[in-house]
Amino acid sequence: MSTSGKVIKCKAAISWEPKKPFSIEEVEVAPPKAHEVRIKILATGICRSDDHVMSGALTVPFPIILGHEAAGIVESVGEGVTCVKPGDKVIPLFVPQCGECSSCISSKGNLCTTNDIGAVRSLMKDGTTRFTCKGKQIHQFISTSTFTEYTVVHETAVVKIDAGAPPEKVCLIGCGFSTGYGAAVNTAKVERGSTCAVFGLGGVGLSVVMGCKAAGASRIIGIDINKDKFAKAKELGATECINPQDFTKPIEDVLKELTGGNGVDYSFEVIGRTDTMTAALASCHMNYGMSVIVGVPPSASKITYPAMLLFTGRTWKGSIFGGWKSKDSVPKLVADYMGKKFNLDALITHTLPFDKINEGFELLREGKSIRTVLLF
Active site residues: 47, 49, 52, 68, 175
Q: How many residues does the chain have?
A: 376
Q: How far apart are CA 94 and CA 126, in angstroms?
A: 18
Helices 251-258 and 274-283 cross at an angle (nearest 10°) of 20
